[in-house]
Structure 1
Amino acid sequence: MAIKRPPVALGPGTLTFGTVSVDMLDISCQVTAAKVTFDSDKEDDLPTLCGGVLAGEKNYTAKLEASAAQDIEKDGLIDWTWKHKGQEMPVVFVPKNGEAAAINGIVVIDPVEFGGEVKKRNISEFEFDFVGMPVFTPDATADSTEYPPLPEP
């Protein structure tokens, strides 16, 4: 029997940068969207004399893309990213609290934009490049891999 996997709804979860001992920033309650994306760069294939082909190497890069409500607090999103621009910081992205799934890695902090429309809640969209590859820890609990049984008619 095939394993049935329920679709995932994002949240409530967490998105934190740094560590408790090194300038931690928790923007979980400001985040309106978050995802990890990948880009790839493939070298050209090389034809060989015998008629074969040596496949070009493929390299991957990853980034954290997010949208978050701006704040003007000391050590808040804007202040923290501006102070730590260019620094490598640990990141932990937990898409759903209570589940084991998480993404851990190191990102390079870029300053987040500030400002927007008058009399509107301003949202900053930003991307932070991962240093190397992030690590995905899947949720292997029974409730994450099967739908609950349907009620009998």
Structure 2
Amino acid sequence: MSRILGPGSLTVGAVGSPRQLAADLTKISLTPSTDSEDDIPLLDGSNESGADSTTWALSGTSLDQYTKDSLAQWAAENAGKELPFVFVPNADTGAEYGGVVKVRPIGLGGDVKKKNSNDFEWPLIGAPTWPTV
């Protein structure tokens, strides 16, 4: 059993043109967000139960790279596209998580004469797939 993130991989893109992102990431996670509606009181004294809904995002931190093939440029060029991804948190475990993300731009820059990083969050279309046991 492994409890350490990395070394692993994150691949985003269609078969034949995937982009490996792991070398640019200092942080990565699949993050759920659950919204709960309040119960609705009814005239007869009963309650209609509120619904729960969960959405997912692929969240991370990218180390800036100031080149033409940087992750920030790739994200800007692919912004709005829904692309498949495969996330392997630790290559030794064989566990893979996947799904489809909607790519959004990633910021670029920060403090002068420093190695800068920028956070990003890409929403998943649906829920992620989980490794089979």
Correspondence 1:4-153 to 2 at 5 A = 8-22=3-17, 24-137=18-131, 140=133
**Is contact 1:89-1:107 (8 Å) kept?**
yes
**Is contact 1:25-1:77 (8 Å) kept?**
no
Structure 2 CA distance for partners of 1:25 and 1:7, relative to 1, 3 Å: closer
Q: Residue 10 of structure 1: CA displacement?
A: 0.4
Larger Cα Rg: Structure 1 or Structure 2?
A: 1
**Is contact 2:75-2:106 (8 Å) kept?**
yes
Q: Residue 48 of structure 1: CA displacement?
A: 3.6
Q: Distance in 2 between matches of 1:73 and 1:53?
A: 58
How many residues get paired?
Answer: 133
Structure 2: tracts of 5 or more residues without a match: none
Q: Secondary structure at the match of 1:136?
A: coil
Structure 1: tracts of 5 or more residues without a match: 1-5, 141-153
Q: Residue 130 of structure 1: CA displacement?
A: 0.7
Q: Secondary structure at the match of 2:22?
A: coil
In the superposition, the TM-score normalised over structure 1's length comes to 0.78
Q: Distance in 1 between matches of 2:2 and 2:22?
A: 21
